[in-house]
Amino acid sequence: MALSYKQRRRWSVVILVVGLPIYIIAAVSIVNLLPRPSFLIELIVYVGLGVVWILPFKSVFKGIGQADPDADNEQK
């Protein structure tokens, strides 16, 4: 099921405003449950988690910053 441009924009806002803070809280909570690793290991874990969250949503965010391809090119 392909999402339209407007649907992808709406979902991207929901993901960024609601989903990302929830993911950050969950990631920090899980890392805090582990025994304290060295700074370098902890940094690698946070960078990895920062990249992993976007992979399932790559198709939603792709092309959102560009003009609406479905809109008419004529300005009335």
Q: What is the pLDDT of residues 47-56, one digit of tens each?
A: 999 899 889 9
Per-residue pLDDT band at 11 (split at 50, 70, 90):
very high
Task: Summarize pLDDT for 52-70 with one digit per residue, the tens.
Answer: 988 998 888 888 888 888 7
Task: Summarize pLDDT for 23-35 with one digit per residue, the tens.
Answer: 999 989 988 888 8
Instruction: Name the average pLDDT for the chain.
Output: 86
d(CA 23, CA 59): 19
Give the percent of the chain with pLDDT over 90. 29
Phi first, then psi, for residue 16 (nearest 5°) are -75, -35
**DSSP states of 29-53:** HHHHHS----HHHHHHHHHHHHHHT
Work out whether the CA dihedral 8, 65, 54, 18 comes out positive or negative. Answer: negative
